[in-house]
Structure 1
């Protein structure tokens, strides 16, 4: 799974590089949607969808091969449900990091330090050691208007109320994609933050507003951010 996600993240970064030759402003709502569509396609269905580079690549073209109605319906739910939640989650996190440079810098320093210790390889051990990045991914209530990853430090997690944070449900029927989501979000954050500084641009809406007509929490408009190439890359 790591190699498949890494291949998609490499395409994602290459596409960002090409876009940055024309503009340093990126709509991450759209960019993340394409990236996670490719990740879901290759990891769940073994399909090289290549949506990142080819916008005409259509998921339904491959979906026709799923003859059985039950398989097709479940595949559709997994794809659409995962796509919206993953892309919006990444957009929101990059948005918050663009506004909180000290948090972004701390995450970047952790990534670079751990990459150096692991010889630049993305492995399970490497990902599990990114504790601060994990706190960023898990960031939530209380005081929900403030982005504060320290809420998920080991000490505060112990003191937290049981059952207050269950985005994947709990018990034997909890979402099976919990591990997959964590790995996928970590890898794309690693690729972006290790190479670029993320900044808000003049067109982004602050504070961000949400699409009231959506069943999941989505930004109402584009998440326009500016990328600045870092001098030190891995």
Structure 2
């Protein structure tokens, strides 16, 4: 009996040692490359605070960025994986633009069976991404954006009426809840040809699904940890998937496509592009789940990134009354010259609003860091630093956009940072809220239009103020990975202008 227990103990020790060796075998990687970085801890690497729910990854990379001010690159470890954080704009340009064909992949893995909604444009491998991007890009041309502009205006009119209703009841509003209703209705009308009715229904199904996609809890934490073990997640991740979200997106996409085909409806919008993709799949391996995944990412990105950006712009305008008055005056002057009509061309003339939009994204980029990985071994130009195929490269855009050497007093909200003169003096790689290069945000121009129109409707009708519920400063949620989220609702006070 004693011998048996001893053998079990020995086997357990051997297993622990092998696991330890597996998790620490690369810990001398960056030292051997001559790259500085923090010392890793077995089993955790450098991200123990993130894994314990104490710090989000955007703040982790900012801490690394600030700790090594003279380094152009810093080596860190995500558990046992060596990851390179690049700070120098020339290296960033190599990754995003110059050598894009080598860095066309993101970190994300697609799990077709375990997580069907992962088969979307944002996460696809370089080969399928390239073909799909070409097919979907037609939705976001200038001509298409102009064609759908009247739909945007119609949604903004509904938004204006909704504001009139709720402000008469209570002048304190939670911006995220408010703006997500507007962005959902815009996405429904412009992309899907559907009346999503988020502004009419308090407990709207689309809004509930949007919140669920970006919620955090024990199930999500376990799911994120398991994704670091791809073979396990591939086989067992299905049990952690949000099946109701998956079913909802598949059903709504299939029903919309079937309706249009039966009734010969053609709107030349996102859904029509998906219909063409389904009818002419090329080599993309198109299934109902694949088609629904494209609807999913378009809906999710529009729901989260546009609503948070619009909310944070309102938050900063509430804190900076002189900026608010200046942009309201400019909006009025521009619209007075066109009989008060908001048009595709007139919003481009509201220059200070553009600066406010850019400064909001500078201070609060919705995606706080970018990830790329080479599809083959790669040596940075002018160096002996070589990355292995598939090794993650991090571009910490949140940290860069808060670097006081690039943006003095980075916590100050200053739209004049984006005057033509100031933009010209900065390296373009120092401002990356939409990424850059061929794999930048496909829907950036669409998002810009809807956010600006929403802000115009608010500013022309209401004064925005801070209130007792306004969190100053905002506290970023410690549990998030790459998205900008806060621990508290974004509350402001709206007062009807006379």
**Which TM class, normalised by the smaller chain length?**
over 0.9
Tell me the residue number matched to 2:201: 54
Equivalent in 330, 347, 357 of residue 127 of structure 1: 347
**Does the CA-based 8 Å contact 1:98-1:199 persist in structure 2?**
yes
**Does the CA-based 8 Å contact 1:210-1:217 persist in structure 2?**
yes
Tell me the residue number matched to 1:70: 290
Shift of 1:63: 4.7
List gaps (5 residues or longer) in structure 2: 1-147, 207-244, 255-287, 363-400, 402-406
Question: Closer, same or farther in 2 for the Cα pair 1:100/1:161, shift >3 Å?
Answer: same
Shift of 1:57: 3.5
TM-score (norm 1): 0.93
1:153-192 CA deviation, whole Å, 9 max, x = no partner? 1111111112111222222222221111111111011110
Tell me the residue number matched to 2:451: 185
Higher relative contact order (CA 8 A, sep 6+): 1
Structure 1, 180-189 or 219-228: larger mean CA deviation = 219-228
Tell me the residue number matched to 1:136: 356
Tell me the residue number matched to 1:160: 426
SS of corresponding position for 1:163: helix
**Does the CA-based 8 Å contact 1:25-1:226 persist in structure 2?**
yes
Is 1:32 the counterpart of 2:252? The answer is no
RMSD (Å), alpha carbons = 1.5
1:180-224 CA deviation, whole Å, 9 max, x = no partner? 111111101111001111001111111111222234102221111
Structure 1: how far apart are the matches of 2:477 and 2:467? 21
Structure 2: how far apart are the matches of 1:52 and 1:137? 24
SS of corresponding position for 2:345: helix
**Does the CA-based 8 Å contact 1:88-1:219 persist in structure 2?**
no
Tell me the residue number matched to 2:150: 3
Equivalent in 302, 319, 323 of residue 103 of structure 1: 323
Which structure has the greater CA radius of gyration?
2
Is 1:211 the counterpart of 2:477? The answer is yes
Shift of 1:12: 1.5
TM-score (norm 2): 0.45
List gaps (5 residues or longer) in structure 1: none
Is 1:45 the counterpart of 2:192? The answer is yes
**Does the CA-based 8 Å contact 2:167-2:495 persist in structure 1?**
no
TM superposition outliers: structure 1 runs of 4+ over 4 Å: 60-63
